[in-house]
Structure 1
Amino acid sequence: MLESLRAAVAEGRAPSPADLTRLALVSDPLVLRKAGKLLARLEDADGLRPLRVALLATCTIGSYEQILRASLVSAGVLPDLVPGPYGMFELTLATDPFDGVDVVALLLDETCFLPHDWAATDVDGLAGHLEARLADLRGLVLSAVERSTATVLLHTVPLPAQVRDSVISWRARAALSKAWAKLNEGLLDLAAQHRQVAVTDLVSVLADSPFPARDDRLHRYGDLPYTDGALSLLAREVRRFAQARGGLSRKVLALDLDNTLWGGVLGEVGAEGVQLGGLYPGNAYREVQRTASRLRDQGVVLVLASKNDADLVDEALTAHPEVLLRPEAFSAKAVNWSPKAGNLREAASALGLATGSFVFLDDSPFERGHVEEELPDVVVLPADGDPAHIVRTLLAQGWFDVAELTETDLARPELYRSRTLRNDFAGGFGSSEDYLHALDVRLVVQEADGFSVARVAQLAARTNQFNLTGLRFDEAETGRRIADPDHLVVTFAVADRFGDEGVIGAAWVDRSGVEWHVDNLVLSCRVLGRGVELAIAAWLARQAHAAGATALRGRYVPSKKNGLAKGFWTDAGFTAEGDGAHALALDAGLPEAPAWINLLEGNEVAR
């Protein structure tokens, strides 16, 4: 893998999707350090999303910079890491404007909170000091996010053994641990106090890790309190956050059946003979199903990908008393004897999603190898070996993390299941227009507010195919535009006879002058093909005209992924002006929404 990374850097290109997945799965901190040093020379690469990260530490940063760079690149990010000056943590956090910074990542150790000298006989006094230092840090963090659009990411701090064990009274030691737990509770609570603050629980991550947290010699020698292993775990958490923040997480979990969701081969032992529930190993497989069900409850789309007889599988999923994933849990099913790579490709097409949004879990090395070869952008995970480890394999890297769950996330599995039903329904009509009229499409337009800002920012981060300019307005910037009368931020929701798709699009419009400018318009690919985008253009033109604007302007900025949106502006009646610019004069007639779309505004829905 290191040789592949070296070649990519030498050629000035992004590492391959397969290499990014391998890099994300690396657990050896030495390999991450080497990878980070190599990737420091990668200055620009198509396919990696730029992210500027300020690193502020209460100790020496040391190898953390290299480890963090490797971890962030594995998420599809090209990080620009800016370490803060040593010994100036509080001053920098208090005064730096963080211009152009996306994330301020803090590296904290116990010296941020403990006095230089403390009395083991006065634990109550120490607890009071911890509370005061927490209040100081809280003020610094909230001040930083108020004066910038950056997100501050911090973490809980482990209580060093030498501090804990310096207190020899069992009762006092318990009081000290309680005070430290309260400190970490206060750190975690910061995430609830401002949308631009995020916290990861490093203490619990370390508790479930084979790495020691501290290296006493390096701590005394170079003010390096954490081991490289501990830093690699923290870097993984930062990577998970950046991945979620940037909309780079996966949406689909494709699951094998035999020796993955149950033990044994269904075709050989029958539904009654598979190992599921009860004692080991059946209880391990049932936990895999329970975990997949929890992911589905949070918006992960499940796809069944099994080489089996379809009728036998449906019977087993329906009748087996220990099955937790019934047939309706899967938004798409590919149960046949065809190669799984082709089945996954067809499932992605049916769902209207890229294969790069898939995670594939399978016990067969052959099937995994074939999918890796044919679909390198799919994350492929092993389910062979001890079934007790499958859940950890599936969850450890946070492939499905999101910054915040929205109503659309929660409804996503049913939305995509409805899409497959909609595709089946389309086959019974003589023309596409007849089909679209029969769908009874309803487009609901509403100005964004504090309740929808998280979903709007999520759409900006995660939408690639119908993303006209590539501008990704985050939650902070979107909130500022919502509050600014010179800007309009609007959401679009779609429903039809098969169900409610939820909020599937958003537009950011500058309306400060006599001409309105659409800074960006994004739309989920699952509603394309119904004329929704043309109805949106018609609505925007009508609003601009009603406000007295003379023209509505928009741009198309091509990327590797948004080619399907190339003709949108001209299809909507706009005139191309060159270099991606388009304009619609509002005094020469306004475009009409497609006749089969019922366009409603938010207040009409409320009535």
Structure 2
Amino acid sequence: MRPADLLTPTSTSGTFQRRWREVMTSPGSLRSVSIAVVASFTVDTLLPYIGGLMAQRGLYARFTIAPFGQIYQSLLDPGSEVRTAGADVTLVLARIEDLCARPLAELALLDPARIADARAEVHAEIDRLCAALTAFEAATTGMVFAGTLPAPPHTPLGVLDASHPASLTQLARECNVALWNAAVQRRRLRLLDVDRAIAEVGAAKAWDPRMAVLAGCPLSTAALRQLAVQLTRSIAALLQSTAKVIVLDLDNTLWGGIVGEDGAAGIVIGPTGLGAAFAAFQDALLALRAQGLLLAIASKNNEADAFEIFDHHPGMRIRREHLAAHRISWQPKSESLRELASELSLGVDSFVFVDDSPTECAEVRSVLPDVTVLELPRDPVRYVEALRSVPQLDRMTLTDEDRMRAAAYAAEKARTAARAAAESDPDALRAHLQSLELRAAVRRIGDEDVARAAQLTQKTNQFNLTTIRRSEADVGAMRRDPAWRLYALDVTDRFGDYGTTGLVFARRVDDATWDLDTVLLSCRVLGRGVESALLRIVTADLIEAGARRLTGRLIPTRKNAPVRDFLPRHGFVPAAGEGPGEAFVKEPLPGAPFDDSHVTARLDDGPR
């Protein structure tokens, strides 16, 4: 799609309507996502905005709309249309004015004897809403997004509202704290920041009193579009692969000035003036690194000059140790990105390339169209805003592995250095693998593993037999189904902990047959033989469950070449079968031993 055709928050309502009609008429290959909407006001005008933006991200939204004003019936009645819809995502939007009209009216009267009671009634109602959301989340399998409660656009007290005991603005803040407390305790309950959408548009433009009276929707079209942007980004972050690496230019990107011309003394980075904008940008990048994104460098520069800044400039926030990899040379940026992808064992489609030069950005877009390219604005004070506008950087789940990722890649550098000397000598390579002291712990997936398991199915491309993508709701439902056994793999060695890096999802076909629906391994542990240990432990557990035969399927993709010999290499032979890809079978079990004696492997009794 050409940039001129992309829908944005500033696109007209007519453009959204036309795009949404086109999608409904012919969704094509878009991935279907069912969305239930429950609200205290009418939301029909919101749907084309969500549908159009979702289609732009490769998703086809199918809606179930509850009657407006029936939040509790829709969430709590087992026979309600929303409860029986089994939606992938349920959106709940409410206003404090709709839920708490009577106590709010009492507050407006400013009776000192009733203010405390009226406030208590509002809190009780919000507690009731939180209980309904929690019950709905527990009874269903999809993700639940609850909108925050925006402060009313007008308050009876006017400018006095901010400091009066009857303040509606403060009361709304307290209610949102209650919603936040409920959300952080539930794995599939998230908040959608309605206040932020209103702030993006501006309060004066976000409310439409005429539409509130005539159509029952108090939000303006501009506010609804912004709300749809936030929801679309949240859903896409749950269901689609997100970026793994931010590749950065240096001059006039990470700092102001050109180090090769201005020297270290001429570089602009620090706590004051324009240097503060570059410092804020580096802080934003370090925050993303803490969420699991890797930072890398692709710069046309002299390496010694560049690292002089990283190592010694007092204004730098990002230091050499924060970088997962770098290419500082005079070759084309696209070639540097290819080399970085090879070094990190990642696809370039997981890269976000950030540069201030339109020429460099155009070259990367042309040569590597799978790379997400962020061309920075001219003004460095807008860099942070531009960075946060990249949807591929969104995260809706943060796991322990995300927080460990940067340290894991640092450990991987040490492993790579240790392996390099042994690469050309088979005996030396086996000795190297033995020296790693690899330990593989296989366990059944528990509730706390669901988010990471779903994340691995979404992100793993290279060593993935079928590349079937699954949401947290999918994994949770499979875990509860006795026909499935879901296994996770944790790997450690003498350099550190890789975290949860592998999955096997096995489904009972009949009393003697189990099908390996999903087998995947993070690229961080490829080439170490742990895939053999994982299959050995899983096979032994399935034999105890009565398995005498295993089946599997390879669905080749453009990226999963590393897994294509996995089944034949472990005793599976081609078999007839319907469905995509190539079918395999293995019997009898367990078959010949695998070449994984250098891995100490075990089956843990249960989840971590």
Same fold per superposition (TM over 0.5)? yes
How far the C-alpha of 1:393 sits from its partner, in A, is: 0.9
Does the alignment pair 1:316 with 2:309? Answer: yes
Alignment check: 8 A CA contact 2:115 2:166 kept: no
Which of 58, 65, 71 does residue 83 from structure 1 map onto? 65
Q: Quick one: which amino acid aligns to residue 27 of structure 2?
A: E
Match of 1:51 in 2: 33
In structure 1, how many angstroms separate the alpha carbons of the residues matched to 2:428 and 2:64?
57
In structure 2, how many angstroms separate the alpha carbons of the residues matched to 1:158 and 1:268?
51
Report SS of the residue matched to 2:461: coil
Which of 328, 335, 342 does residue 335 from structure 2 map onto? 342
Match of 1:244 in 2: 237
Alignment check: 8 A CA contact 1:103 1:153 kept: yes
- Name the CA shift for 1:437/1:33 in 2 (closer, same or farther; >3 Å): farther
Does the alignment pair 1:366 with 2:366? Answer: no
Deviation per CA, 1:123-161: give whole Å up to 9, x if none.
445423422332332333233223321111111121222
Match of 1:40 in 2: 24
Does the alignment pair 1:393 with 2:386? Answer: yes
Match of 1:70 in 2: 52
Report SS of the residue matched to 1:507: strand
- For residues 116-265 of structure 1, the aligned pairs below 5 Å read 118-119=105-106, 120-121=108-109, 122-165=114-157, 172=164, 175-210=167-202, 212-265=205-258
Match of 2:498 in 1: 501
Alignment check: 8 A CA contact 2:197 2:223 kept: no
- Name the CA shift for 1:481/1:114 in 2 (closer, same or farther; >3 Å): same
In structure 1, how many angstroms separate the alpha carbons of the residues matched to 2:257 and 2:27?
49
- For residues 246-325 of structure 1, the aligned pairs below 5 Å read 246-325=239-318
In structure 2, how many angstroms separate the alpha carbons of the residues matched to 1:395 and 1:588?
50
How far the C-alpha of 1:187 sits from its partner, in A, is: 2.1
Which of 435, 452, 456 does residue 453 from structure 2 map onto? 456
Alignment check: 8 A CA contact 2:95 2:149 kept: yes
Alignment check: 8 A CA contact 2:9 2:222 kept: no
Q: Quick one: which amino acid aligns to residue 118 of structure 1?
A: A
In structure 2, how many angstroms separate the alpha carbons of the residues matched to 1:86 and 1:475?
28
Does the alignment pair 1:107 with 2:93? Answer: yes
- Name the CA shift for 1:559/1:69 in 2 (closer, same or farther; >3 Å): farther
Which of 321, 325, 328 does residue 321 from structure 2 map onto? 328
How far the C-alpha of 1:370 sits from its partner, in A, is: 1.3
Report SS of the residue matched to 1:161: coil
In structure 1, how many angstroms separate the alpha carbons of the residues matched to 2:6 and 2:121?
42
In structure 2, how many angstroms separate the alpha carbons of the residues matched to 1:589 and 1:565?
20
Deviation per CA, 1:323-363: give whole Å up to 9, x if none.
12111211110111111122112211211111111111111
Q: TM-score, normalised by structure 1?
A: 0.88
Q: TM-score, normalised by structure 2?
A: 0.88
In structure 1, how many angstroms separate the alpha carbons of the residues matched to 2:384 and 2:161?
40
Report SS of the residue matched to 1:412: helix
Alignment check: 8 A CA contact 2:245 2:294 kept: yes
| Unaligned runs of at least 5 residues, structure 2 | none
Match of 2:507 in 1: 510
- Name the CA shift for 1:346/1:93 in 2 (closer, same or farther; >3 Å): same
- Name the CA shift for 1:484/1:133 in 2 (closer, same or farther; >3 Å): same
Indicate the RMSD between aligned Cα atoms, in angstroms: 3.0
How far the C-alpha of 1:274 sits from its partner, in A, is: 0.3
Match of 1:435 in 2: 429
| Unaligned runs of at least 5 residues, structure 1 | 5-17
Deviation per CA, 1:204-227: give whole Å up to 9, x if none.
443354462211112112112111
Which of 596, 601, 607 does residue 594 from structure 1 map onto? 596
- Name the CA shift for 1:62/1:487 in 2 (closer, same or farther; >3 Å): closer
Question: Bigger shift: 411-420 or 306-315?
Answer: 411-420
How far the C-alpha of 1:583 sits from its partner, in A, is: 2.2
Report SS of the residue matched to 2:228: helix
In structure 1, how many angstroms separate the alpha carbons of the residues matched to 2:162 and 2:91?
36
Q: Quick one: which amino acid aligns to residue 495 of structure 1?
A: T
Deviation per CA, 1:497-516: give whole Å up to 9, x if none.
54332111112223583333
Does the alignment pair 1:528 with 2:530? Answer: no
Report SS of the residue matched to 1:159: coil
Alignment check: 8 A CA contact 2:39 2:93 kept: yes
In structure 2, how many angstroms separate the alpha carbons of the residues matched to 1:105 and 1:436?
54
Alignment check: 8 A CA contact 1:359 1:380 kept: yes
How far the C-alpha of 1:38 sits from its partner, in A, is: 3.8
In structure 2, how many angstroms separate the alpha carbons of the residues matched to 1:112 and 1:566?
57
Paired-residue identity, %: 30
Deviation per CA, 1:19-72: give whole Å up to 9, x if none.
8xx847655464555544443334231xx5432212233222233111112322
- For residues 377-388 of structure 1, the aligned pairs below 5 Å read 377-388=370-381
Which of 545, 555, 571 does residue 553 from structure 2 map onto? 555
